[in-house]
Structure 1
């Protein structure tokens, strides 16, 4: 494993300034009442606010190269956005559109697809998501006389009911391919799923002879694996933000809530619980920063298996060839991000779960009420914990990656 420069784990002056701007923005636009209102919006978020986030701060385009309409910064800056959004449970398709769909395009080697979709994503005028990346899918793609068509379904697709574009990983006769599907395509149906966390909508997506546009990729399987690890790193940043808010809100509450003539925060048992939680959150922050550094340290690169060359099962017949020498060209360092992202998910998921539980419990009776926002954080913590695999699944995968299993 390659050593990560310790300075990459710290925050630069520019990132600190970005954090301050974002915190002020979200404080003014995404309070608890705002979040409840946004949950009930037709697409699960405030579209005007999404446009403002792009126009005033440029959050959606931070990690998108300038040639595709972005700002050309790194994943580290995007992680700041995700953490601050996680602090307030900001409703919006940051994870699905900016992270999963954005990095799928960047890692695909298809410059035409990047030019087609990324400028609109950076501008906040279009949203996208991915489907077929997990076990909740049986998507297939077939090449017919008129082009590629898709069949099957993908369940629990993030922001699947409202996305303007769906990027699909579908099985073909020669392997796995990447495809794009426009929201209004014939044969495409989407049904919102009832989920625990209303701030993160999910949907069942069904294709029936739906026209698809192929996206070039030397090895779609490697792209999918890499994007999922980047998604885990992004989710870790969100989890750190939510955990930090839970701690801050609880510390403020126990300092002003009195019992037996003194603040309950002065009781040793309460102090120890919150001190332990602070230590866990700082460990989670370090794990998330390490994962972000691994993404940033290998920008637009995919870990390429030795046999991922033309003519192997990883090369899907009939799909356009990847552009040799493009900025998104496939490169090495296999497993580095996978390990860091897995560790981050184990640590951050368990920390967020505990932080949310303390948020509810140490607020006493009010913490159990519908009107208090604590339950929203508990819902987010529990849903995030299983989004890209449970902590136990990540531990098992880490054992395999590190050669610790027999």
Structure 2
């Protein structure tokens, strides 16, 4: 397969890179890490009103720009490169995609325009306090109550769940036993409790969301089971996360090479030493292989072939490459790479935390093995 970006896609990447460089310098990342919300509302508003990034992959008939997963992943790649603190992954790659997959046209017309404009931030709550990450593993219950349902249960590792204005949650219906998705508008929602969870990666906020007879609206048709649709959303989200990891790994490579050219020891740049040369060369090979895996997965999802295999392969490989590249950046920078002020440790923490999202590397390796009948 030959994959080359079009002129428009390259321009999109350049615009997003310049925006991220301007809005997400390391000093700003440090500042946002210490705030309760974990992002700048003004920057998020600018992403929606001026750049139109939240609308990118939402169809035009629902208020979006109508682009594909490829453009969404290219944006995610640049955001990962800059460690941009914003609820983009949670709201668009998870929340909006789940609504598109599971919702009726009426649901989409009601919910998606606000997300596309950036006025509404969404989150997807599907993981629970078990080792299972499959969509059909849901202990949260949904009990019918007239025209609505009442949710009871607890979700964990909900990305940006404590600040989202709309939560899309999976739950098992007591009237049919099937797993469906439900929407909860968080403003003054009865019985809703959201708690931010301290994690290794302070640049991405996650939360525990508890429902206690919380009113919710069914997403999609009454007779449908949403597990397959939710599975497709998680596959695409894994590709988006892989693209973000690719961006982070590429930054680690570029920063390490630049430092190796500048830092001198024994009267010569450290990049001239064989050990540093080999480490940077290995990073380059790894990053380019991760790029191939991520870009192949984008195309495979769009074309509709090997979706589970491609997405899990991209996620697992990009996770390992990002963690390895971030570790190498710390080592190449030496003592300064261990300081709080230097961004190296933030990329390493983002890499290790991303390995635990969407099931983790081990879960996706099992998906790969099953897809290949191993």
TM-based fold match above 0.5 = yes
Q: Is the 8 A contact 2:128 2:156 kept in 1?
A: no
Q: Partners of 1:118 and 1:22 in 2: how far apart?
A: 22
Deviation at 1:385, TM superposition (A): 1.0
Q: What is aligned with 1:259?
A: 265
Deviation at 1:197, TM superposition (A): 0.6
Deviation at 1:118, TM superposition (A): 1.0
1:290 maps onto 2:296 in alignment: yes
Out of 19, 22, 26, the position equivalent to 2:20 is 26
Q: Partners of 1:271 and 1:371 in 2: how far apart?
A: 26
Q: Is the 8 A contact 1:291 1:341 kept in 2?
A: yes
Partner secondary structure for residue 342 of structure 2: coil
Q: Is the 8 A contact 2:169 2:183 kept in 1?
A: yes
Partner secondary structure for residue 53 of structure 1: helix
Q: Partners of 2:192 and 2:170 in 1: how far apart?
A: 15
Unaligned runs of 5+ in 2: 131-137
Q: Partners of 1:93 and 1:34 in 2: how far apart?
A: 16
Unaligned runs of 5+ in 1: 1-5, 299-332
TM-score, normalisation: structure 1: 0.87
Q: Partners of 1:205 and 1:105 in 2: how far apart?
A: 19
Out of 196, 205, 216, the position equivalent to 2:209 is 205
Out of 82, 94, 111, the position equivalent to 1:88 is 82
Please give the residue correspondences for 1:61-210 in structure 2 after superposition, counting only pairs within 5 Å.
61-133=55-127, 136=130, 138-145=139-146, 147-173=148-174, 174=176, 175-183=178-186, 184-210=188-214
Q: Partners of 2:303 and 2:33 in 1: how far apart?
A: 35
Q: Partners of 2:147 and 2:117 in 1: how far apart?
A: 32
Partner secondary structure for residue 143 of structure 1: strand
Tell me: CA distance 1:134–1:204, structure 2 relative to 1, closer, same or farther (3 Å): closer
1:17 maps onto 2:11 in alignment: yes
Deviation at 1:345, TM superposition (A): 1.3
Q: What is aligned with 1:328?
A: none
Q: Partners of 2:64 and 2:146 in 1: how far apart?
A: 37
Q: Is the 8 A contact 1:291 1:337 kept in 2?
A: yes
Residues matched between the structures, number: 362
Partner secondary structure for residue 390 of structure 1: helix
Deviation at 1:39, TM superposition (A): 2.1
Tell me: CA distance 1:109–1:213, structure 2 relative to 1, closer, same or farther (3 Å): closer
RMSD: 1.4
1:367 maps onto 2:342 in alignment: no
The one-character-per-residue Cα deviations of 1:239-277 (angstroms, maximum 9, x if unpaired) are 000000011011100101000110000111110111011
TM-score, normalisation: structure 2: 0.94
